[in-house]
Structure 1
Amino acid sequence: MTTQPLTIDTFESTITDGGIVLVDFWASWCGPCRQFAPVYAAASEEHQDIVFGSVDTEAEQELAGAVGITSIPTLMAFRDGILVFSQPGALPASGLEQVISAVRELDMDRVRSEIEQQKQDAPTGA
């Protein structure tokens, strides 16, 4: 599977469709982004069950701002619509494989329970 370009119109529906979605935020002028691109593309071919999205931060400045991108490349991982990983910087192939393995191994019932607990523990506005 090749990477899917994501836009402000397709981002939300893509990450909430379920399963694992990786998103690479990049720009054409970014050297580390260009170094990471072939690593990301190779992983997309190897892991057919994962959606590999990419966001050109120059073309999608509003989307990049909305998700808080301050450095590129940034890799985000979503599982079942929940952000479970976000890290700036170009990863080597082994690092990307570690992220994929970790996301696959997550106990999503536990993740949802922890999120719910954080919501309950959050102070309410006065």
Structure 2
Amino acid sequence: MAEKNILAYFKSPEEAQHAQRKLQSLRVADMSIDRFSAYPGGELNGPMHPLTGDITSLTSMTQNSALSNRSAGILGAADPSASGMSDGGQDGTQGRDILLTVVLDEGIFDQAMRLIEESGGMV
């Protein structure tokens, strides 16, 4: 049989882990849970001091990103999540930064899709 894959987006790691536990009973070939972001970084990248002006960009302060140059900082600061002036859209993907990747047999694809959606995942 052929293999298929599913990329499902969740709002929390716990939701994704709940779906992962359900999918393990189907004996999928491979699964992983990862967090992703539009900006590099995520950990405390280095000390920033707003009074001395040692700030790469607004994005480095609000998103804790590690941008490589001034142009990237300007582009990142234009994002609604950096300024807080907008919710960023109404497409339903806002806040879904957890990715569950599943590789499985084609025969159990539909069943796996139902389990993921029941667990709060968006495919």
TM over 0.5: no
TM-score, structure 1 length as denominator?
A: 0.27
Structure with more strand by fraction = 1
Larger Cα-atom Rg = 2
Structure with more helix by fraction = 1
